[in-house]
C-alpha cells in the first residue's frame, strides 16, 4: 500500500488492555492513526491518549461486539473520523473456562458472539470499505487452543477454530480486491485474560498452588518460557506493515513451539 505515513489508519478491537493495547501503541509509534475499539471506556480512552503521545491521531471507539450491530457500527465510526481504513485487527476475545459437563448456554453464546460473529461481521464491513478504496489488510488473533483438546475450555477452543476458518474464507473472498487476511496465534502471555483463565483452570483441576500450576503449564512450551504482548505485537505489526502482498490466508504461530503440529 503506497500510503503517506500520516494518513495510514488501523482499527484494533479489544484495544483497551493486553495485546490489543500493545498493538495500538506499536502502530502509533510507526506513525499510524489508531482506532481503539473496546467495551471498557476508561481504559480505551487512556490507550487512545497514549497513542496520541506519538504525535498521531487516535480515537476511542466504544463498542459492544456481542451485539449484532456493533461490529459494523465500529468500522463506520472509524471511517467517519479518519476518512479511511487501511488495516483491521480483530483482537477482542471472550474466554470463560467451564468444566465440559457443566457448560452453559450463556458462556457459549457470549463466546461465539464476540469471538466468531463479531469477527465475521467486522471483517465483512471492513472488506466492503477496503474493496472500494484500493485494498487493505485484516489480521485475526487466533490461538493454539483451536488445535488442542481442552475439555475445560471447549467454547473458546471451538471459537478459535472458527476464527481459523473465517480467516481462510475471508482471504479467498477478498483476495481479488487487494485485501490480505491472515491470523496470528500467540502462545501463553501473562495478560489479564490469561491470568484470569488460568486461575479458573487451577480451580477446576483442584490445584491450590498457583505458582506450581503456572510453572507446570509453562514447562509445556518447548522454548521454555512465556511470550509477551510486546513480542507478539511485533509480528502483528509486521503483517500490517511489511508482509508481502502475496501472503494471505496464513496463520503465524507465535507460541514458542507449543503449536508445533
Return per-residue pLDDT of the chain as tens, 261 residues. Answer: 344 445 799 999 999 999 999 999 999 999 999 999 999 999 999 999 999 999 999 999 999 999 999 999 999 999 999 999 999 999 999 999 999 999 999 999 999 999 999 999 999 999 999 999 999 999 999 999 999 999 999 999 999 999 999 999 999 999 999 999 999 999 999 888 888 999 999 999 999 999 999 999 999 999 999 999 999 999 999 999 999 999 999 999 999 999 876
Residue 250: inside a domain: yes
Q: What is the pLDDT of residues 152-168, one digit of tens each?
A: 999 999 999 999 999 99
- Neighbour tally for 146: CB within 10 Å: 21
Cα 25 → chain centroid:
14
Closest CA to 191 of 236, 228, 234: 228
Residue 17: inside a domain: yes
Question: In the prediction, which pLDDT does 259 show?
Answer: 86
- Asked whether the beta carbons of 146 and 186 are under 8 A apart, the reply is no
As a whole number of angstroms, the distance between CA 42 and CA 47 comes to 9
Residue 209: inside a domain: no
What DSSP assignment string belongs to 129-149?
A: HHHTTT-EEEEEE--GGGGS-
As a whole number of angstroms, the distance between CA 261 and CA 254 comes to 13
Residue 88 parent element (H or E)? strand 87-90
Question: In the prediction, which pLDDT does 260 show?
Answer: 75
Residue 194: inside a domain: no
Count how many Cα atoms sit within 13 Å of the Cα of residue 85 in the half-sphere of its side chain: 28
End-to-end CA distance of the chain: 33
Burial class (CB in 10 A: 0-12, 13-18, 19+), 16: buried
Residue 232: inside a domain: yes
Residue 109: inside a domain: yes
Q: How is residue 41 annotated by DSSP?
A: H
Instruction: Indicate the number of domains in the chain.
Output: 1
Cell 507460541, residue?
A: 255
Question: In the prediction, which pLDDT does 261 show?
Answer: 63
pTM of the model: 0.95
Residue 121: inside a domain: yes
Which residues are 5's β-sheet partners? none
Give the CATH number, domain containing residue 132: 3.40.50.720
Closest CA to 140 of 240, 21, 17: 240
Residue 205: inside a domain: no
Domain that holds residue 170: 9-188+227-254
Question: In the prediction, which pLDDT does 1 show?
Answer: 39
Output Rg (C-alpha) for the chain, integer angstroms.
18
Which residues are 87's β-sheet partners? 10, 137
Amino acid at each position: 500500500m503506497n500510503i503517506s505515513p500520516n494518513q495510514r489508519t488501523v482499527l484494533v478491537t479489544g484495544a483497551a488492555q493486553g495485546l490489543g493495547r500493545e498493538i495500538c501503541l506499536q502502530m502509533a509509534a510507526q506513525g499510524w492513526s489508531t482506532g481503539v475499539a473496546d467495551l471498557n471506556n476508561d481504559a480505551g480512552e487512556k490507550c487512545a491518549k497514549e497513542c496520541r503521545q506519538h504525535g498521531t491521531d487516535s480515537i476511542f471507539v466504544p463498542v459492544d461486539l456481542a451485539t449484532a450491530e456493533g461490529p459494523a457500527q465500529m468500522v463506520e465510526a472509524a471511517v467517519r473520523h479518519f476518512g479511511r481504513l487501511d488495516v483491521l485487527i480483530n483482537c477482542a476475545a471472550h474466554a470463560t473456562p467451564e468444566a465440559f459437563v457443566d457448560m452453559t448456554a450463556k458462556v457459549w453464546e457470549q463466546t461465539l458472539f464476540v469471538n466468531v460473529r463479531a469477527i465475521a461481521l467486522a471483517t465483512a464491513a471492513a472488506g466492503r470499505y477496503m474493496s472500494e478504496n484500493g485494498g487493505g489488510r485484516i489480521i485475526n488473533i487466533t490461538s493454539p487452543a483451536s488445535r488442542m483438546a481442552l475439555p475445560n475450555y471447549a467454547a473458546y477452543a471451538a471459537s478459535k477454530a472458527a476464527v481459523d476458518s473465517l480467516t481462510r474464507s475471508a482471504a479467498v473472498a477478498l483476495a481479488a480486491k487487494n485485501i490480505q487476511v491472515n491470523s496470528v496465534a500467540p502462545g501463553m502471555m501473562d495478560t489479564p485474560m490469561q491470568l484470569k483463565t488460568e486461575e479458573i483452570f487451577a480451580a477446576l483441576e483442584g490445584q491450590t498452588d498457583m505458582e506450581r500450576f503456572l510453572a507446570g503449564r509453562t514447562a509445556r512450551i518447548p522454548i521454555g518460557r512465556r511470550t509477551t504482548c510486546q513480542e507478539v505485537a511485533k509480528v502483528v505489526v509486521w503483517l500490517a506493515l511489511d508482509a508481502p502482498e502475496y501472503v494471505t490466508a496464513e496463520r503465524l504461530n507465535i507460541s514458542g513451539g507449543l503449536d508445533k503440529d
